[in-house]
Amino acid sequence: MDLLLKPGAETGQTLDTASAAEPLEYVRFRHRRMGDGEVFEDHSEDHELCLVLLSGKATVHCAGETFEAIGERMSVFEQAPPYAVYLPNDTDFRVEALTEVELGICGAPGHGNHAPRLIEPRDIKQSTRGEGANVRHVHDILPETQAADSLLVVEVYTPAGNWSSYPPHKHDEDNPPHETFLEESYYHRLNPAGGFGFQRVYTDDRLIDETMAFSDGNCVLVPRGYHPVGAPYGFDLYYLNVMAGPKREWKFTTDPDFAWLVK
């Protein structure tokens, strides 16, 4: 099973999880680079979307709304929360780049229950999880406490030498309130960009057991199973997570072999 997607050489859209050999059913992630002054127009079709301004400044038009000159950070590694725009399904949108822009287009099945809205940095909860070599810093861009149909979006900063999504956990069974089924994608960035990181995706029965060395700008798909991530010494790691499934709730199970690490 090929779970690692690498960016193409073309300008514009660099990644689209729909192009995977086995695309995820609920989650779709696209990454797009835009030059200063470039315009990107699209339609959300049957997906609700969260447009995350990974870097740069842009104006977004959608459904009669205009969100003017949004975006502050020029690199994801500034660690400031981003600006984002939520869009329901069946919505036309237009993004006008006011600087060079990196855009993360996060999608999941939508049902038209929510209006377009701006998500500002002040709306985004920031937290730190773990301790020691398990510390990571989290920005909840579109958590389950905020309105959406099925989409969850979060970004995570993992310091060099640390582990993330650790102890290993999974959310691939529909067994609420103990666990819920959510697919997931990881869009990875490294600082400096020339390094690599590791991610393992494995199930209890080992029908999936893949360990991948990802580079800056790669995307890892998690259809099911545990999915820990490691950042080598000397390279800080950023990733943008998109999660979705039949129930919009994040309940997970820790790998029993690692349960002793959970306090």
The three-state secondary structure class of 202 is strand
CATH number of the domain bearing residue 243: 2.60.120.10
Tell me if 155 is assigned to some domain.
yes
Tell me if 1 is assigned to some domain.
no
Tell me if 102 is assigned to some domain.
yes
Tell me if 2 is assigned to some domain.
no
Q: pTM for this one? A: 0.97
Tell me if 239 is assigned to some domain.
yes
Expressed as residue numbers, the domain containing 58 is 10-257
Tell me if 126 is assigned to some domain.
yes
As a whole number, the mean pLDDT across the chain is 96
In degrees rounded to 5, what are phi and psi of residue 80? -80, 145
> Which of the four pLDDT bands, split at 50, 70 and 90, describes residue 11?
low
Tell me if 262 is assigned to some domain.
no
> Which of the four pLDDT bands, split at 50, 70 and 90, describes residue 8?
confident
Number of domains in the chain: 1
> If you search the block for the tokens 């999974």, which residue do you land on?
170
Residue 27 CA to residue 207 CA, distance in Å, equals 21
Tell me if 4 is assigned to some domain.
no
